[in-house]
Amino acid sequence: MTVVVSRALAVLCLGAALSGCVAADVPRDPDRELARCVELWEEAKEEQTQPKDRGEVPDPTHLQARFERLALEFPEHEGTLYANAVVASDAGQHERAQQYLDRLFRRQPVHPDGAVLRARIAVQDGNLPHARRVLERQATLAPDHAGVHEALAGVLYLQGELLPARQELGVAARLGAPGWRVAYHLGLVAEGLGALEEAAHHYQVAIDRNPGFEPARARLLGLSSRRP
């Protein structure tokens, strides 16, 4: 099961201004500076996937140095540490991302988004037990975070623990995880259990709630050839 994560950096913009640089005689605000970096990074990522004629847009890899300078200037700023972890992970630099996450968790042990990112990196590195430990600990520290339970369900699924995975998806759904995504993952679990009719139902729910979600459509199409 793919551990789906929403646009991790976008949340960092909340509560911070997105424009302009502060005057030289005004202390630099880490939230403002980070928000500007995030805005540029989001624009660069969007330009990579959906090119538009918007003039010069920095390459995301070039922006990484800007995030790192900000971490040097504000080494205790939690949002900056998390942003650097996200950017490093996006660039495939897992060890660097882990270093930033280690610094983040030393300052703030309760950080669900950081835990989900750490677990995702662990999954990509093939270390499912570590991913599970990280998420189970965070589920204890932040039990009301839907993303942690959804990610934990994904790890449990990959470990073949289908019933616990389904239970975690139920928790995630009650806490507000996107219904289409939960339905898709419930379909994967049901398919793994051999309940093909139930799986087809969940995939159809996912399509109904998110018509553009092609993985659910592909799974449903695949099931049609397996059912009598």
Q: Is residue 1 part of a domain?
A: no
Of 134, 149, 176, the one marking the end of a domain is 176
Q: Are residues 199 and 156 in the same domain?
A: no
pLDDT tens-digit profile of 89-125?
Answer: 999 999 999 999 999 999 999 999 999 999 999 999 9
**Residue 3 maps to a domain:** no
Q: What predicted TM-score, i.e. pTM, was given to this entire model?
A: 0.81
pLDDT of residue 46: 81
pLDDT in tens, 141-181: 999 999 999 999 999 999 999 999 999 999 999 999 999 99
Residue 2 lies in a domain: no
CATH number of the domain that residue 117 is part of: 1.25.40.10
Pair 224, 197 in one domain = yes
Give 1 or 43, the one with higher predicted confidence. Answer: 43
The residue from 176, 199, 214 where one domain ends is: 176
Query: Can you give the chain as a three-state secondary structure string?
Result: CCCCCCCCCHHHHCCCCCCCCCCCCCCCCHHHHHHHHHHHHHHHHHHHHCCCCCCCCCCHHHHHHHHHHHHHHCCCCHHHHHHHHHHHHHCCCHHHHHHHHHHHHHHCCCCHHHHHHHHHHHHHCCCHHHHHHHHHHHHHHCCCCHHHHHHHHHHHHHCCCHHHHHHHHHHHHHCCCCHHHHHHHHHHHHHHCCCHHHHHHHHHHHHHHCCCCHHHHHHHHHHHCCCC
Number of domains forming the structure of the chain: 2
Note whether 30 and 100 are same-domain residues. Answer: yes
The range of the structural domain enclosing residue 106 comes to: 10-176
